[in-house]
Amino acid sequence: GPRDALGAYIAKPETYPSSVVVYHNTDFVAIHDMFPKSSLHLLLLPRDSSKTRLHPFDAFEDAEFLTKVKAEVRKLRTHAAAELRRKYGKDSEQERARQEALIADPPPDELPAGRDWEKEIVCGVHAVPSMNHLHVHVIAVDRYSERLKHRKHYNSFSTPFFVPIDDFPLALDDVRRHPTQEGYLKRDFVCWRCGEGFGNKFVQLKEHLKQEFEEWKRL
């Protein structure tokens, strides 16, 4: 069924164009999310057949496996950061200052640092995944996408329903083990960037996300 759709990438990554499969190796396949909820939304799929059908909370109980996944997530995040720099870097103040310093005569003693795009990427899993194959989201923080169409789409990346990979292993009494009970997806909207509340007003939230996106990408 549709919940098994990620299995095809794991089985035959070499059959997809680079616009779909970012890279693949023996243990992982990195892909573009088909319904991106941000300006850049990637998925890391572990290929280990003993893990791919498990809930992430169970799969990440295996410390050795978790260490491997974390290392690959860092790699994909670096890749994603480079992609963001290519997309938005030339617009940013810091990036411009760096470019100017690079061509200055005489050159400055120290180059201004470029923007750290890795900070603009979050990596983690949904407390209740909808797709059956184990996957880690590697997603730009902007939450700016036409595909972000419902309350669930926003809140699943903007509440504790989204569990950062570095929070694993989870404690046994971690409340995120009971996401439905906590009602994360039904919460009022809160802007990821400025913290403004939007109640249940999705249209207003979407307009605000567009404004925030324009500022964020140029910062």
Instruction: Give the active site residues.
Output: 135
Among 105-113, 120-128, 198-206, 208-216, the segment contacting Zn ion (CB under 5 A):
208-216
Give the x/- contact pattern for ligand 5GP in 20-59, rule: CB under 6 A: -----------x-xxx------------------------
Q: How near is the Cβ of 208 to Zn ion at its closest, in Å? A: 6
Q: Check residue 111 for interaction with ligand 5GP (CB under 6 A).
A: no
Omega of the bond prior to 17 within 30 degrees of 0, cis?
Answer: no
Q: Nearest approach, Cβ of 67 to ligand 5GP (angstroms)?
A: 22
CB distance 176 to 138 below 8 Å: no
164 is an interface residue for ligand 5GP by CB under 6 A:
no
For residue 131, state whether it binds ligand 5GP (rule: CB under 6 A): yes
193 touching Zn ion, by CB under 5 A: yes
Q: Write out the chain in H/E/C secondary structure.
A: CHHHCCHHHHHCHHHCCCCCEEEECCCEEEEECCCCCCCCEEEEEECCCCCCCCCHHHHCCCHHHHHHHHHHHHHHHHHHHHHHHHHHHHHCHHHHHHHHHHHCCCCCCCCCCCCCHHHHEEEEEECCCCCCCCCEEEEECCCCCCCCCCHHHHHHHHCCCEEEHHHCCCCCCCHHHCHHHHCHHHCCEECCCCCCEEECCHHHHHHHHHHHHHHHHHC
Least Å distance, CB 196 to Zn ion, is 5
Binding range to ligand 5GP, per CB under 6 A, among 66-74, 126-134, 173-181, 198-206? 126-134
What is the closest distance, in whole angstroms, from the C-beta atom of residue 70 to ligand 5GP in the complex? 18
126 binds ligand 5GP (CB under 6 A): yes
104: Cβ contacts below 8 Å, ≥ 6 apart: none
Contact with ligand 5GP (CB under 6 A): which of 129, 170, 176, 190? Answer: 129
Please report, as ranges, the residues that interact with ligand 5GP according to CB under 6 A.
5, 31, 33-35, 126, 129-131
Residues that bind Zn ion (CB under 5 A): 191, 193-194, 196, 212
